[in-house]
Structure 1
Amino acid sequence: MTAIASPDLDQLAADYQRDGFVKVSGLLTPEEAAAYRRTSHELLQRLEQAADPTWGSASTVSMGRATSLQHLHDAQFYDAAFSRLLTDPRFTGVAAAVLGTPNVQLHHTKLFVKPPENGSPFPLHQDHPFFPHTDNRVAAAIFHFDDAPEEKGCVRVVPGSHLAGPREHDPDGGFHLNDVPFEEAVPQPAKAGDVLFFSCLTVHGSGVNISNEARTTWLVQFRDPADPPLTDAHSHSLGQGMMLAGIDPTGHRR
């Protein structure tokens, strides 16, 4: 198994505070990422998850077919491999560093597979309006289980966009931004095993997968347990409130 050097957590935290995101190269080994890719695809096939979460505003035609997407909430409740990853110190160490607290609490997870040739894009948006919190100490980590070059519809971010705070999103409930050109978002191509961390206020999205291979990622949303939610959004997510590192100083599960 390939050895991966430990990241400089102080530097990652500083970069995150400045840019609103940070990509950690090789947080998982290539062998681990490949195993999770197999597990992800086998899980989706076993559960026959047919729901397509493509946003209406993102539905388009690529390579002669409508775009599509496969996804699964709460993969850790179907396969223990994902449970182990949630509490892996390599992940929780970075999560704690970017939040600025040793206490890291789970909000929810989603497994995504962008099919080849027509994998759906995501319009530019912030995560904040989906599950707003009082102090916005909420972040996401996208685990890449296979390579995600630009042609696979890799994640794009607008550096520094978190500093402007919550933005006005589509008034019709689409939760996408109408006033930020897609070209302003910088592509973040990744290798299998890389993990992209970003704030709930960071403007981000992704393009269409026009390659001949699937793009497989796992999204983990996490937060500082001391940051109270403003709504009960995503309260249906299994395991919400699970402590991934540290303690819950509030003394109750939310």
Structure 2
Amino acid sequence: MIDPSMVRFYQDNGYLLVKGLLSREEALAYRRECHEVLARLRPVDPTWGSARELGGGATELRHCHDAQFYSAAFARLMLDPRFTDVAAALMGTENVQLHHTKIFVKPAEKGSPFPMHQDAAHFPHTRHTVGAAIFHFDDAPEEKGCVRIVPGSHRQGPLPHVEEGGWHLPTSRWPLESAVPVAAEAGDVLFMTYLTVHGSGVNRADEARTTLLIQFRDPEDRPADNVHRSRGQGMMLRGVDPTALD
């Protein structure tokens, strides 16, 4: 699933798209699971105010925190060695610990964008090992608002963010359209560091864009602030937690 050249690419660029980590059939089954979970929950739109401006009008977003508490399918996926082995290799550790999970669905024709940002601004850690895995459960071409990335931006370290209208980088300096689109297919998983500058565009296609985000870390990497606490945070996905011996 992963070789040294892929690890070097991740270290140099701050991201790695792993093609076909799941089969297309598996991805579409998880897609159905996502939409069924969201159909059972009270609708909540987490679209940032700045994202509405970026989208040029009324846009929408559906999401669910801590997906594994609503469906066992996602609990099993978090422990799948196809995922956890890649996460461990990219961090350079045997141990992989959960930070949090989220389902994101961008509805057809009006799915909300995300301005450029670093995840580190939302939950900073002391050693900066935190990574993200974005599981694509349907195709995500550019017209569906795929993730856009600034390769190598993780090497700049934590950057100051603008709090107004969300928690993002200044749009004048970090325009979404200048970032590299990372189009993906159902079953692909995009890994990136939490220091990598990224965002995503509006879904203008006639089909929803469905993803699951799993944020993970080395268990020896401690939070710098007591923020973004999630249910299940600290669960071991691979290996052991050495700090539990303290």
Q: Provide the residue aligned with 2:243 in structure 1.
A: 250
Q: CA deviation at 1:56?
A: 0.7
Q: CA deviation at 1:171?
A: 4.8
Give the 3-state SS of the residue equivalent to 1:58 in structure 2.
helix
Report the residue type matching 1:33 in the other structure: A
Distance in 2 of aligned mates of 1:32 and 1:252: 38
Q: Provide the residue aligned with 1:123 in structure 2.
A: 115
Distance in 2 of aligned mates of 1:230 and 1:61: 31
Q: How does 1:167-206 map to 2 (within 5 A)?
A: 167-172=159-164, 174-178=166-170, 179-206=173-200
Preserved CA contact (<8 Å) 1:99 1:224: yes
Q: Provide the residue aligned with 2:95 in structure 1.
A: 103
Preserved CA contact (<8 Å) 2:48 2:165: no
Q: CA deviation at 1:142?
A: 0.2
- 1:129–1:36 CA distance, 2 compared to 1 (3 A): same
Report the residue type matching 1:116 in the other structure: A
Give the 3-state SS of the residue equivalent to 1:33 in structure 2.
helix
State the superposition RMSD in angstroms.
Answer: 1.6
Give the 3-state SS of the residue equivalent to 1:198 in structure 2.
strand
Report the residue type matching 1:238 in the other structure: R
Q: How does 1:141-160 map to 2 (within 5 A)?
A: 141-160=133-152
Q: Provide the residue aligned with 1:231 in structure 2.
A: 225
Distance in 2 of aligned mates of 1:252 and 1:229: 18
Give the 3-state SS of the residue equivalent to 1:250 in structure 2.
helix
Q: CA deviation at 1:174?
A: 2.7
Q: Provide the residue aligned with 1:220 in structure 2.
A: 214
How many positions carry a matched residue from both structures?
A: 244
Write out per-residue CA displacement over residues 63-94 of structure 1, whole angstroms, 9 at most, x where no aligned residue. Answer: 9x610100000110111110010000000011
- 1:61–1:105 CA distance, 2 compared to 1 (3 A): closer
Preserved CA contact (<8 Å) 2:158 2:195: yes
Report the residue type matching 2:133 in the other structure: A
Q: Provide the residue aligned with 1:138 in structure 2.
A: 130
Report the residue type matching 1:246 in the other structure: G
Report the residue type matching 1:8 in the other structure: I
Q: Provide the residue aligned with 2:26 in structure 1.
A: 32
Q: CA deviation at 1:9?
A: 3.2
Preserved CA contact (<8 Å) 1:61 1:118: no
Give the 3-state SS of the residue equivalent to 1:218 in structure 2.
strand
Q: Provide the residue aligned with 1:113 in structure 2.
A: 105
Q: Which runs of 4+ in 1 moved over 3 A?
A: 60-63
1:59 aligns with 2:49: no
- 1:103–1:34 CA distance, 2 compared to 1 (3 A): same
Give the 3-state SS of the residue equivalent to 2:244 in structure 1.
coil
Preserved CA contact (<8 Å) 1:107 1:222: yes
TM-score, normalisation: structure 2: 0.95
Q: How does 1:10-21 map to 2 (within 5 A)?
A: 10-21=4-15
Preserved CA contact (<8 Å) 1:119 1:208: yes
Write out per-residue CA displacement over residues 191-242 of structure 1, whole angstroms, 9 at most, x where no aligned residue. Answer: 000000000100000000000000000000000110111112121x110000
Distance in 2 of aligned mates of 1:204 and 1:10: 24
Q: 1:87 aligns with which of 79, 101, 105?
A: 79
Distance in 2 of aligned mates of 1:120 and 1:134: 31
Give the 3-state SS of the residue equivalent to 2:28 in structure 1.
helix
Q: Provide the residue aligned with 1:162 in structure 2.
A: 154
TM-score, normalisation: structure 1: 0.92
Preserved CA contact (<8 Å) 2:149 2:179: yes
Q: Percent identity?
A: 63
